[in-house]
A and B are shown apart, each in its own frame.
Chain A
Amino acid sequence: MTSALAPAPSKLAAQRKKSSEKARGLGSRSGNTIAGIAAWAIGILFVFPVFYMVLTSLHSEVNASTNPPSFFAPLTLQGYKEFFGASSGASPWPPLINSATASIISTILVILLAIPAAYALSVRPIKKWTDAMFFFLSTKMLPAVAGLLPLYIFAKYLGLLDNINYLLILYTAMNLPIAVWMMRSFLADIPVELFEAAAVDGAGLIRTLRSIIVPIISPGIAATALICFIFAWNELLLANTLTSVIAGTAPVFLTSFVTSQGLFLAKVCAAATVVSLPVIIAGFAAQDKLVQGLSLGAVK
Chain B
Amino acid sequence: MATTTATPLETEAEAKAAKKKEPKPPFNERWLDKRGWTRRFPLLPALVFIIILTQIPFIATLIISFMNWQANYPNEIFFGTLNNYVTVFTDPALRSSVFFTIVLTVTVVIVSLALGLGISLLLNRSFFGRGIVRTFMITPFLIVPVAAALLWKHAIYNPVYGLLNGLLTWVGGPQPDWITDFPRLAIEVQLIWYWTPFMTLILLAGLQSRPGDVLEAASVDGANPWQTFRFITMPHMRRYLELGGLLGSIYVVQTFDTVFVMTAGSLGTANLPFTVYETLYSAQDYGLASAQGVVVVIFSIAIATFLLRTVSSLFEES
User: Which residues from chain A sit less than 8 Å from chain B, CB to CB?
Assistant: 19-20, 22-26, 31-33, 35-36, 38-40, 42-44, 46-47, 49-50, 52-53, 56, 64-69, 113-114, 116-117, 119-121, 124-127, 130, 132-154, 169-170, 172-173, 176-177, 180, 185, 205, 230, 233-234, 236-237, 240-241, 250-251, 254-255, 257-258, 260, 264-265, 268-269, 271-273, 275-276, 279-280, 283-284, 287, 290-291, 294-296, 298-300
Interface size class of B (residues with CB under 8 A): 35 or more
Main secondary structure, interface of A, reads: helix
Contact of B146 among A120, A149, A254, A290 (CB under 8 A): A254
Using A42-B122, A241-B277 as known contacts, say yes or no to A139 and B50 having CB atoms under 8 A apart: yes
Which 5 A-B pairs give the minimum distances between C-beta atoms? A36-B127, A147-B57, A116-B42, A272-B147, A150-B60
Chain A residues with CB below 8 A from B186, complex form: none
> A48 to nearest B CB, angstroms?
9
Write the nearest CB–CB distance from A60 to chain B, whole angstroms: 13
Give min CB distance, A167 to chain B, whole Å: 12
Contact B50 A255 (CB under 8 A): no
Q: Tell me how far the C-beta of A256 lies from the nearest C-beta in chain B, rounded to whole angstroms.
A: 10
Cβ-defined contact, A19 with B198, below 8 A: no
Whether B150 and A257, one on each chain, are in contact in the complex, defined by CB atoms closer than 8 angstroms, is yes
What mask results when residues 206 to 224 of chain B are scored 1 for a CB within 8 Å of chain A, else 0?
Answer: 1101101001101110000
Interface residues of B (CB under 8 A from A): 28, 31-32, 36, 38-43, 45-47, 49-50, 53-58, 60-61, 64, 119, 121-130, 132-148, 150-156, 158, 160-163, 165-167, 169-170, 193, 196-198, 201-202, 204-207, 209-210, 212, 215-216, 218-220, 228, 240, 243, 247, 250, 253-254, 256-257, 260-261, 264, 272-273, 276-277, 280-281, 286, 289-290, 292-294, 296-297, 300-301, 303-304, 307-308, 310-312, 314-315, 318
Across the interface, do A291 and B202 meet the contact criterion of CB distance under 8 Å? yes
Complex interface: chain B residues within 8 A of A279 (CB): 142-144
In Å, the complex CA distance between A299 and B237 comes to 12
User: A140–B54 Cα gap in the complex (Å)?
Assistant: 9
Q: Give CA–CA (A130, B311) in the complex, Å.
A: 12
State how many angstroms separate the Cβ of B43 from the closest Cβ of chain A.
4
**B contact residues around A272 at 8 Å (CB):** 143-144, 147-148, 150-151
> What is the predominant secondary structure among interface residues of chain B facing chain A?
helix
Given the known interface contacts A46-B197, A126-B43, the answer about A64 and B144 at a Cβ–Cβ threshold of 8 Å is: no
Q: Are B133 and A43 in contact (CB under 8 A)?
A: yes
Query: Closest CB-CB distance, A134 to chain B, in whole Å?
Result: 6
Q: B150 and A254: CB pair below 8 A?
A: yes
If A150-B57, A279-B143 touch, whether A36 touches B125 (CB-CB below 8 Å) is yes
* B36 A47 Cβ-Cβ under 8 A: no
17 A-B contacts, Cβ less than 8 Å apart? A36-B125, A38-B122, A39-B119, A39-B125, A42-B137, A66-B161, A119-B42, A136-B46, A137-B311, A176-B46, A236-B146, A254-B146, A258-B260, A276-B143, A276-B144, A291-B204, A298-B311
B162 contact set on A, CB distance < 8 A: 67
> What residues on B are CB-neighbors of A180 within 8 Å?
46
Distance in angstroms between the alpha carbons of A283 and B141 in the assembled complex: 9
Q: Known: A52-B155, A287-B138, A294-B247. Is A149-B47 also a contact (CB below 8 A)?
A: no
Shortest distance in angstroms between A173's beta carbon and chain B's nearest beta carbon?
4
In angstroms, Cα B128 to Cα A40, docked, is: 9
> Pick the contact of B155 from A19, A153, A265 — CB < 8 Å?
A265
Instruction: Determine which of B41, B128, B196, B197 lies in contact with A120 in the assembled complex, contact meaning CB atoms within 8 Å.
Output: B41
Known contacts A143-B273, A268-B155, A299-B202; A120 and B57 CB within 8 A of each other: no
Contact B49 A113 (CB under 8 A): yes
Cα distance, A142 to B301, chains bound together (Å): 8
Per the bound structure, the CA–CA distance linking A146 and B198 in Å amounts to 25
